[in-house]
Amino acid sequence: MTYLKISSINKSFGEEKPVLMNFSLDIDRGQVISLVGESGSGKSTLLRIIAGLENKNSGDVFLEGEQILSPKEKLVPGYDEIQLVFQEYQLFPNSTVEENIGRPLIRYDKKYKKQRIEELLKLLNLEPFRNKLPRQLSGGQQQKVAIGRALSLEPQVLLLDEPFSSLDTIQRRELIFELKEIFQKLQVTVVFVTHDLDDALQMTDSLVIMHQGKLIQRGSPEDIFEKPKNIYAAKLFSHLNLIPEKPKTYVRPSDVQIFKTTGLPARVIEKQYLVHYNQLTVSLADKSVWKVEDKNRVFEIGDRVKLKWDEKKELSF
C-alpha cells in the first residue's frame, strides 16, 4: 500500500482557470521529496489539500489507506498527523521559544508536554534560546521554532511551504543541512515545496517538477537534467541555447565547448565573472544570442570564437 497517495486532484477557485489538474503523486514512508514549481503553479494549494485544510473539486488523498477529509467533510479541519509549516513563521510574538514549541500540546499531560519540548529543543539545537522571544532570534532560528512546533504533535507527514524564502543564502544552506539530519533521525515523511531548484537539490535528490497545476516530471536531478520532459523542466536547471536551423532543439551552456578554429562562428559581446567560470554572451551569424561557459577565463569581449557540442547533448521538445 502506498504510504501517502495523492490521486487525481482537480481544484479551481470559482470560475478561475484550474489551479490543480489531475495531480497524482505517491510518496513512500520516510521519504523527503522536493516539489519545485514557479510562483502560482499551485504548490501551496496542493499542500493545503494534502493537509485536509482546503476543499477540492475531485480526487483523493490517502495516508496509509485512510482517506484525508476536506474541511467540508470534517468538523475541525486538518490532522495532527499532517503538519504544515509556512514561509512566515507565524510564531506567537509574546511567547518564548519553549512556549511556542509547546503550544499545540496544550491539552496534553503536563509531564509529557515538558518531556516533548525538551526533546525538540535538543533536536533542533534550540536549548540556549528556550527563554527568548521570536524577535530576539535570527530568521533561521525562528523557522526552526516553527518546525519544532509542527513536530511537537509527532506528525507522520511534514509539509514545508517555501520555509526558507525569508532567509539569506548562508542561513538557508545551514538550516537545510541541519534539517536533513533531523528528518532522517525522525523518519518523518517530508514534502518540501520551493521555487528554488538549488534549495531543492540541497535538501534531497528526489524531485517533483510542477508547472501550471500539473505534475511535469518526477525523478532524480540527473534524470531530469539529462532527459527533461518539457522545456519548463529543462530551463529550471540552466539557460537553453536554441540551435540555428534545428527547430525546438537546444543545447545547454555547460555542454558547449569554445574553440578558436572550427565550429559554429560567434562573437563575444558580454563577459560575466561567475564563481566557477566566466559566462560569455555570444552573438551568432543569424544575430541570435547564446550563453556559453569559459571555464579557463581566456576570452574577452570582441573575440571571435567557434562553438561545438556533442549532438547527444541536444534537447528537442
Interface residues with ligand ATP (CB under 6 A) are: 13, 19, 37, 39-45, 162, 195
> Hey, how many other C-beta atoms are within 10 angstroms of the C-beta on 104?
18
Nearest distance in Å: CB 309, ligand ATP: 34
Nearer to ligand ATP, 40 or 244 (CB): 40
Nearer to ligand ATP, 19 or 101 (CB): 19
Non-local (6+) Cβ contacts of 305 within 8 A are: 258, 259, 260, 263, 265, 266, 267, 268, 280, 282, 292, 299
Nearer to ligand ATP, 181 or 198 (CB): 198
Nearest distance in Å: CB 295, ligand ATP: 34
Would you mind telling me the total number of residues written for the chain in this entry?
317
Can you tell me the distance from the alpha carbon of 258 to that of 45, in angstroms, rounded to the nearest whole number? 45
Nearest distance in Å: CB 53, ligand ATP: 11
Nearest distance in Å: CB 117, ligand ATP: 31
Can you tell me the distance from the alpha carbon of 282 to that of 280, in angstroms, rounded to the nearest whole number? 6
Nearest distance in Å: CB 206, ligand ATP: 19
SS3 183: helix
Nearer to ligand ATP, 37 or 163 (CB): 37
> Hey, how many other C-beta atoms are within 10 angstroms of the C-beta on 89?
20
Run of H or E residues at 179: helix 169-186
Can you tell me the distance from the alpha carbon of 25 to that of 56, in angstroms, rounded to the nearest whole number? 16
Nearest distance in Å: CB 82, ligand ATP: 17
> Hey, how many other C-beta atoms are within 10 angstroms of the C-beta on 219?
18
Nearer to ligand ATP, 36 or 63 (CB): 36
Can you tell me the distance from the alpha carbon of 86 to that of 231, in angstroms, rounded to the nearest whole number? 29
Nearer to ligand ATP, 159 or 266 (CB): 159
Nearer to ligand ATP, 180 or 195 (CB): 195
Non-local (6+) Cβ contacts of 223 within 8 A are: none
Nearest distance in Å: CB 46, ligand ATP: 7
CA distances from 58 to 4, 9, 49, 232, 277 (A): 17, 6, 11, 26, 49
Nearer to ligand ATP, 42 or 134 (CB): 42
Strand order in the sheet with 4-11: 20-27, 4-11, 58-63, 66-67
Nearest distance in Å: CB 165, ligand ATP: 8
Three cell numbers written together for 105: 500540546
